[in-house]
Chain A
Amino acid sequence: MVFEILDTQIIEGISIWSLLVTGIIVFAGVIVAKIVRMIFKKKFAPNLPVDTVKTFDKLIYYGIIIIFLLAATASQGIDVGALVVGAGFLGIVIGFAAQSVVSNMISGVFMLIEKPVRQGENVEVVDVNVIGRLIEINTFSSKIQQFDGTVVRIPNEKMFTSNLRTFSLSEVRRSEVSVGIGYGENVDNAIKTIKNAIEKNVVYSLMEPAPEFWISELGDNSVNILVRVWHPRDDLAEVMPNLLKVIKNALDDAGIEIPFPQRVVWKGSSNE
């Protein structure tokens, strides 16, 4: 009775028994894949970069399962060739229908190969105006955690075709702020005051190259000084909020005026 049920043909050449055997082989494949993945993670992963580990992890896991699946179908005499032809035809149909999905998937693969930015690094996706830390490159999309904690999901195609601004090639980066002083003030004295204050209070500011000072503009109300500070690349959040505060306090302490726009209104006399 049981054998009769197992021998029942679902479609031509595929019985319940062959499906069951295929399922068992694929299940065995999943177990083997998990074991190999575990060995890979223990033996090799500690010496590899995080993103490479993730890529290999997926390749190993799904690769073994696919091999077992093919072996299972072949052992049960299921005609894979017909399936492949069918899948090819289906692929074209799906390809047209889901062009962007396929495009995202292929972009994701190219991103993993080209590695314009690595997981864990800070990146600015210029075209979509997103700045943050790349936390994951998935099959169809990448996730960037912005500095306010929110996570933005960007389709891989957009990520791959966008201009990416990264900070990882150099260990340092430069930030700048502009500050205006009164026309009556001594510029050299103001620069010296600001330089001393930065060196003392902005602990992440590099001592060499030292902060740079440019007179950027003789403005309507003030002499504008551009202050450029180098710092370790990941410490923007430590430097920028502090920089203007330190400069303002230093100028105040030194009695150097930071002017603001003023308008003088002359009231005409009725006699004139």
Chain B
Amino acid sequence: MNLCSNYFIIKWNGGCPFQLWNNYLSINIVINCINSLIVSSKINMEKNDYSGFGQYDISEKLELRLPKTEINIEIKEGNRFSYYRKNSEDQEIRKSIPQSSGKIKIELCPILPMNLPAKKTNDLIFLRLAESIFVEKKSTTSILIQFPMEIGIYIINQDETKDLFDCFTCEPMHSRFALYGTPEKGNLCMYSKVKLLEKNDVDPYVFARMKVDISNNLDEGKLIGKLVFPIGSHNFYYSEGSSEVHVDDIEVTLKQESKISLIDIKRKGYVNKGAGLKLVSYLTTDDSIYTMDKGFN
């Protein structure tokens, strides 16, 4: 294909052999550049073929594509919007939105993983780390981990207030339950097995990124295999049209109390939040410290 294109261009340009060779080289470079651009845009298309988070105005039809999920919203007779969602298990959800104005505005955004498969927990999440982390005595460290999320579709009212219209997950395996503690005294939590992230790792639509600052005040090194904490007041941050999501950081402190090693966990606002990021906030602003007193490995 390349050779063929080059041949035609060389023939058209004409000139002495040296000039021809120069022409060939320069044209080849341009064509290679174009080809690499096409390839990279193809890769981007594959990666970013999904709809980004953000607000959408709908007057006739909107199709949203997310991993394992398809959403269609279209206007029907009588200013009624028909909402249709299909997930990877071929389950279909249909809803209707009668709207006198003939147009609606929605927001597609990450929401806290507390609603699926059903809302049952007291906003506790149990993150099982795929790799346990060893924290040396009297030391501090920071890690980036995955944080599961659900995706919400909000209807934006005329007064700019929002109502949650639908929520779903692109990876049902991360909408599970676990018990923190013993069956007699334990707490039911949402559960997800999460990996440690490198700086540029992303897992769009399934995980947000969370920074964990760990400090070990103990006189011995400890392994941390799980993190359990309330998420009711955690905020998500995303940029419009993108799929990358951040969540508030947490501060983890290992300490000793009555000869038992405990972990204190405290929410900390996302450090790198900037003006371009949109915030998905929840009304509760409980910044109290949660103590993991039933083990952490």
Would you list which residues of chain B between 151 and 189 have a CB under 8 Å from chain A?
172-173, 175-179, 183-184, 186-188
Chain B residue with the shortest CB-CB distance to A203: B117
CB of B128 closer than 8 Å to a CB of A = yes
Decide: B179 and A230 in contact? CB cutoff 8 A. Answer: yes
Decide: A172 and B175 in contact? CB cutoff 8 A. Answer: no
Would you list which residues of chain A between 12 and 39 have a CB under 8 Å from chain B?
none
CB of A206 closer than 8 Å to a CB of B = yes
Minimal beta-carbon separation of B228 from chain A (angstroms): 10
**In the bound complex, how far is the Cα of B172 from the Cα of A174, in angstroms?**
22
Contact of A208 among B172, B175, B191 (CB under 8 A): B191
Contacts of B126 in A (CB 8 A): 208
Contacts of A205 in B (CB 8 A): 176
Decide: A169 and B177 in contact? CB cutoff 8 A. Answer: no
Contacts of A169 in B (CB 8 A): 184
Would you list which residues of chain B between 106 and 128 have a CB under 8 Å from chain A?
117, 120, 126, 128
Chain A: how many interface residues by the 8 Å CB criterion?
18
Decide: B175 and A232 in contact? CB cutoff 8 A. Answer: no
Query: Can you offer 20 A-B residue contacts whose CB atoms are under 8 A?
Result: A170-B183, A171-B179, A171-B187, A171-B188, A172-B179, A172-B186, A173-B183, A199-B173, A200-B173, A203-B117, A204-B117, A206-B178, A206-B179, A206-B191, A207-B178, A208-B128, A208-B179, A209-B183, A232-B120, A232-B177
Decide: A207 and B176 in contact? CB cutoff 8 A. Answer: yes
Contacts of B188 in A (CB 8 A): 171-172, 232
Interface centre among A203, A208, A209, A230 (most CB of B within 10 A): A208
* Given contact pairs A170-B183, A172-B183, A232-B188, A206 touches B173 in the complex (Cβ within 8 A): no
Residues of B within 8 A of A (CB): 117, 120, 126, 128, 172-173, 175-179, 183-184, 186-188, 191, 193
**In the bound complex, how far is the Cα of B178 from the Cα of A230, in angstroms?**
9
**In the bound complex, how far is the Cα of B193 from the Cα of A207, in angstroms?**
9
Decide: A207 and B191 in contact? CB cutoff 8 A. Answer: yes
Contacts of B175 in A (CB 8 A): 203
Chain B residue with the shortest CB-CB distance to A169: B184
Interface centre among B172, B184, B188 (most CB of A within 10 A): B188
How many A-B pairs fall under 8 Å by CB?
48
**In the bound complex, how far is the Cα of B199 from the Cα of A205, in angstroms?**
34
Decide: B179 and A209 in contact? CB cutoff 8 A. Answer: yes
**In the bound complex, how far is the Cα of B178 from the Cα of A246, in angstroms?**
20
Contacts of B128 in A (CB 8 A): 207-208
In the A-B complex, list the 9 residue pairs whose CB atoms are closest, starting with the nearest: A208-B178, A171-B188, A203-B117, A207-B191, A207-B178, A207-B176, A170-B183, A172-B179, A206-B177
**In the bound complex, how far is the Cα of B191 from the Cα of A132, in angstroms?**
29
Chain A residue with the shortest CB-CB distance to B181: A171
Decide: B183 and A203 in contact? CB cutoff 8 A. Answer: no
Decide: B186 and A171 in contact? CB cutoff 8 A. Answer: yes
Minimal beta-carbon separation of B129 from chain A (angstroms): 12
Chain B residue with the shortest CB-CB distance to A202: B176
**In the bound complex, how far is the Cα of B173 from the Cα of A207, in angstroms?**
10
Contact of A230 among B183, B184, B193 (CB under 8 A): B183
Question: Besides A171-B187, A172-B188, 5 other CB < 8 A contacts?
Answer: A171-B186, A174-B183, A203-B175, A204-B117, A230-B179
**In the bound complex, how far is the Cα of B120 from the Cα of A199, in angstroms?**
18
Contacts of A174 in B (CB 8 A): 183
**In the bound complex, how far is the Cα of B193 from the Cα of A218, in angstroms?**
35
Minimal beta-carbon separation of A33 from chain B (angstroms): 38
**In the bound complex, how far is the Cα of B13 from the Cα of A62, in angstroms?**
107
Chain A residue with the shortest CB-CB distance to B173: A200
Would you list which residues of chain A between 99 and 145 have a CB under 8 Å from chain B?
none
Interface centre among A206, A230, A232 (most CB of B within 10 A): A206
Contacts of B117 in A (CB 8 A): 203-204
**In the bound complex, how far is the Cα of B118 from the Cα of A231, in angstroms?**
13
**In the bound complex, how far is the Cα of B173 from the Cα of A205, in angstroms?**
11
Contacts of B183 in A (CB 8 A): 170, 172-174, 209, 230
